[in-house]
Amino acid sequence: MIRAKVYVYLKKDILDPQGKAVKHIIGNMGFHRIQDVRVGKYTVLTFDDSVSEEEARQQTNEICRKLLANPVIEEYHFELETLPLGAPAGDG
Amino acid sequence: MIRAKVYVYLKKDILDPQGKAVKHIIGNMGFHRIQDVRVGKYTVLTFDDSVSEEEARQQTNEICRKLLANPVIEEYHFELETLPLGAPAGDG
């Protein structure tokens, strides 16, 4: 069973208002030595046991390009991990 | 310069409606061999050069517990990476 951990985030030149808001709140909490905050999405796809690593890589790439990431403003990367057969699907 | 990559996600026993919606859409796109999708948050905190690794670890933990994660329903983990001095703050 293969799990893909997908990270989607704004390109570095794109303004991130959510990150700026979090940075402001963190400053109000007393943390003044954080110079930048960026907020993105973390998505975990769990494939069933019939999917090979190469298929999982291709499908994850396609799902990222077509659904999870907006290629105009966002970038993504992902990692694949192989789980033992019968591992629970919903684990972090 | 230290960067913390923070992952926040729902505990595995908590229903993830956003993940279910993404799974449904992915199925409509023709990918039927994905058995589970979970959606979380990915936040990157970049500390300034005065912050040690131990301080970054403590501050990131505190920021996660107090702001980024809701401990009732969410879990988090993070990784620290050390960047060369003067690296751009906004990079992925």
Query: What is the residue-averaged pLDDT of chain B?
Result: 92
pLDDT at B86: 62
Q: Residue A56: helix, strand or coil by DSSP?
A: helix
* Any A CB within 8 A of B28 CB: no
pLDDT at A84: 79
pLDDT per position as a tens digit, A31-61: 999 999 999 999 999 999 999 999 999 999 9
Q: Give chain A positions within 8 Å (CB) of B34.
A: 45-48, 59
pLDDT at B78: 97
Which fold would CATH assign to domain A2-17+43-82?
Mth169; Chain: A , (3.30.1280)
What is each CA distance from A29 to A22, B18, B38, B50, B66, in whole angstroms? 10, 30, 30, 18, 9
Are residues A87 and B50 in contact, defined by beta-carbon separation less than 8 angstroms? Answer: no
Find the DSSP H helices in B16-52.
17-28
Which fold would CATH assign to domain B2-82?
Mth169; Chain: A , (3.30.1280)
Q: What is the mean pLDDT of residues A3-25?
A: 96
Q: How far is CA B79 from the centre of its chain?
A: 9
pLDDT at A87: 63
Q: Is the pLDDT of residue A66 over 70?
A: yes
Q: Give chain A positions within 8 Å (CB) of B68.
A: 22
Put simply, the answer to whether A46 touches B36 (Cβ < 8 Å) is yes
pLDDT at A83: 86
Q: Is the pLDDT of residue A92 over 80?
A: no
* Any B CB within 8 A of A80 CB: no
Q: Rounded CA gap, A48 and A38, in Å?
A: 32
pLDDT at A86: 62
Mean pLDDT per 10-residue run, chain B (92 residues)?
96 95 96 96 96 97 96 96 72 49
What is the pLDDT confidence band of residue A81, given thresholds at 50, 70 and 90? very high
pLDDT at B76: 97
Q: Give chain A positions within 8 Å (CB) of B13.
A: 90
